[in-house]
Amino acid sequence: MSTTTQEPTGALVNGLLAKIKDRKVKLAIIGLGYVGIPLALVAVRRELQVVGFDVNLDRVKELNAGECSIAHIQVSEIRNARDLGLFEATADFSRLHDADAIIICVPTPLTKHQEPDLSYVEQTARTIAKSLRRGQLIVLESTTWPGTVDQVMRPILEETGLRSREDFFLAFSPEREDPGNEKFETAGIPKVVGGDGKHALEVANALYSVLVTRTVPVSSTATAEAVKLTENIFRAVNIALVNELKVIYSAMGVDVWEVIEAAKTKPFGFMPFYPGPGLGGHCIPIDPFYLTWKAKEYGVSTSFIELAGQINRHMPRHIIAELARALDRTASRGLNGSKVLVMGIAYKKNVDDMRESPSLVLIELLEGRGAHVEFHDPYIPIIPETREHANLAGRKSVPLTPEELKKYDAVLIATDHDNVNYEMLIRGSKLVVDTRNVCERTGTLADNVVKA
């Protein structure tokens, strides 16, 4: 097509802005998981037409049937979106051509060498490129290193002959989901937005202004990418700090949980973070290493971040050592041959998400010491296939009953789900090792409970 017959860039921008303003914009969301589905439901509430794309055919069929297997997603919202005719799931990626705006919510894991795995992002960019047309907005929400949109996505999309800033618009807006946290809902969380040029920022900011209550425009996609990393590195470093303090204070006979509760009464200069059995989830254990990896390109060390990672990765081993000591004191036996129930496989309470869960590491460490291990989790009946812990796939959650509890020499609380009868658990157990302080929080602390 001759450039003289094409719409000028300004007309493309104005046309897309008009569609957004009139709620006529056709929105595509790639990746129908913990980020993509909540975002789609917000868009439906704003009366936008949404098509969700996923390679998982079971997920596509499930959503189109008005169902959802993710625990914290309201099935009623899915069904309402379907009844209104505003949401559809598909695995036919050729339909991306019909979208005015495409939002990418795909995984960005680490390799076994702790390096960024951008294969999902790259594959998605190539898929979009097959049907890319002028005037489309493409936004990446997946967490990554600063420069990914410009250095990875843009070249792939421009292989089509179309140009960012002229023919299509690229942006980055990091997801800020916190599954299971009822205090914060997608639409109410401010959205950071960075664009590849002023036009991309304008249209991306306009789109998110429809979806959420507040946007935070920044100067570039790299800045927006850095914002997300900074948020999660902040958490990782502070969690590492309280994990280290827990070990130190425990040696001194001081309860770190009591210390934190007292410290957080200070109205300034302190923010409470809490120790645990290790880091889990799709963000905090992974994201800091995206910056560590990228910093090497610039000859810059990330000693502080790497030290925090070492501390957090060591916590499961510390917990196992504490459990072994508790068994020595209370049962005069070691881990070898002991029967242990791990309470909770999810990486955090009240969700069915077990990505990077420290519980999986705890099970493998326990079994490596000769223990016989089972688990209970009200949200995860069966451990699914994972890349790092394939040997645990297929294991089933056991019932949590007084009769079952008698079988175990110790119960290790790794996840503090709210819908667990802790009073019954403690009363029926010989030894409870609590890594989350849930027994004291629920007023069920007893002599057979050991904090770890």
Q: What local confidence, expressed as pLDDT, does residue 4 receive?
A: 45
DSSP bridge pairs for 169: 137
Determine phi and psi for 142, rounding to 5 degrees: -70, 140
DSSP 353-375: --TT-HHHHHHHHHHHTT-EEEE
From residue 340, give the alpha-carbon distance in Å to each of 125, 265, 354, 430, 431: 46, 37, 20, 11, 10
Query: Rounded to whole angstroms, how far apart are CA atoms 420 and 247?
Result: 27
Q: CA 79, CA 56: separation in Å to the nearest integer?
A: 19
Q: Which of 68, 105, 283, 439 is catalytic?
A: 283
* Per-residue pLDDT at 37: 96
Instruction: Report the pLDDT value the prediction gives residue 6, as an integer from 0 to 100.
Output: 78
Q: What's residue 209's pLDDT? A: 98
Phi/psi for 81 (5° steps) reads -60, -40
Residues of the chain with pLDDT under 70: 1-5
Annotated catalytic residue 283? yes
Average pLDDT, the chain: 94
**Domains parsed from the chain with CATH numbers:** 3-219 (3.40.50.720), 234-451 (3.40.50.720)
